[in-house]
Structure 1
């Protein structure tokens, strides 16, 4: 069993159903519309842009729109200072602070990994087209 570099839990094993498209023997007449794939990837990139956020006119580092990494970073930052000095509130604040660190980091990691997946699929399309062009010459 291997663990994540940050010492977290190992990723879950992913088992694809045998009926998942592309796992079995592909029929010879399978066609993938690369133009449509590129359109879908562009849509994913656009959505990722909205999750990453952009600095607003006020130049606030914590608010860049609903659902953005900046919003998660800014609005989930609650700790003992915000919850109060009495014991139960202090420990609640410490728990919230720890959850904030994990959540905001994992949220950014998710965005980065989706971006990497989009780049990999784009490169696969380019490689396929280059191979097809050179083998058809």
Structure 2
């Protein structure tokens, strides 16, 4: 596998589990079988989870708090540096390390959600295209 243009780590090779919902083997053809309805349900659930990770502040909460595991929480709770940890050398070093981790992880978290959302969009588009072209060729 080659490295991306930005010299980051290569994407991991992923293999779906044999029992992934909506995918299976077609006994008649010996090839793969894709259950479009089930696959739509899977990506719909994933899209719902992505929305919850992006976060929306509940009416009773601070506008800066958007829920556990959200981009807002990672940004707000992870932004700790030497100024928050004090002048004690060990605490200050911990604060500097945390600040560095935040600087790297904060934008990556948003990018991860963006990439998963693009994948979901691509799966939905592939299903729609397949169905449209199958219908057109069968008419």
Tell me the TM-score normalized by structure 1: 0.79
Q: Tell me which stretches of 4 or more aligned residues in structure 1 moved more than 6 Å.
A: none
More strand by share: 2
Gap regions ≥5 residues in structure 2: none
Aligned length, in residue pairs: 132
Determine the structure 2 residue equivalent to 1:130.
Answer: 132
Q: Cα offset for 1:16?
A: 5.1
Q: Of the candidates 33, 49, 53, which is equivalent to residue 47 of structure 1?
A: 49
**Does 41-50 or 83-92 show the bigger shift?**
83-92
TM-score (norm 2): 0.78
CA contact (8 A) 1:4 1:10 kept: no
- C-alpha RMSD over aligned residues: 3.0
Name stretches of at least 5 consecutive residues in structure 1 with no aligned partner. Answer: none
- Are 1:120 and 2:122 an aligned pair? yes
In structure 2, the partner of 1:10 is: 9
1:28 paired residue number: 29
Pairwise CA distance, 1:54:
0.8
Shift of 1:86: 3.5
Find the aligned partners of 2:15 and 2:44 in 1 and give their Cα distance. Answer: 26
Task: Find 2:107's aligned residue among 105, 108, 131.
Answer: 105
Q: Distance in 1 between matches of 2:67 and 2:12?
A: 34
TM-aligned CA distance change 1:44 to 1:12, over 3 Å: closer
CA distance, structure 1, for counterparts of residue 57 and residue 5 of structure 2: 31
